[in-house]
Amino acid sequence: MSSLINFSIKNANGTYDKYTMSISDAQDNYGNNVAVWVQQTKEEREAKVQKKYVGNGKVQWTDGTINKAEYVEQPTASIKSTSEKIQDLPF
């Protein structure tokens, strides 16, 4: 089963670009189950014009709820305080 979602994004010149997103239960060879392409008119679909794909991706869920990806905190470098920086000045 697949769901189609139509949406628009406003671009820099003030017009809107229209896109279609498909979310499917089946995965492709790379594990993707989401595809996004430029929206086609009815005439283009009937003429079987090739879709202009924008991208693809993955959605993971169980029991109808979307699971958020785990955040892995990266270690940060030690930062000197302002008073330590001032004391290090050569003048």
* Tokens 């628009």 sit on residue: 8
Residue pLDDT, tens place only, 33-69: 899 999 999 999 999 999 999 999 987 665 766 554 5
Q: Which of 48, 51, 53 is nearest to 36 (CA)?
A: 53
DSSP string, 1-44: -EEEEEEEEE-TTS-EEEEEEEEESS--TTS--EEEEE---HHH
| Residue 10 in tokens | 């406003």
Hey, where are the domains in the chain?
Answer: 2-66
Confidence class for position 88, pLDDT limits 50, 70, 90: low
Threshold 0.85, pTM exceeds: no
Q: Is the pLDDT of residue 85 over 70?
A: no
Residue among 3, 37, 42 at smallest CA distance from 17: 37
The reported pLDDT for the residue numbered 1 is 62
Q: What is the pLDDT of residue 89?
A: 59
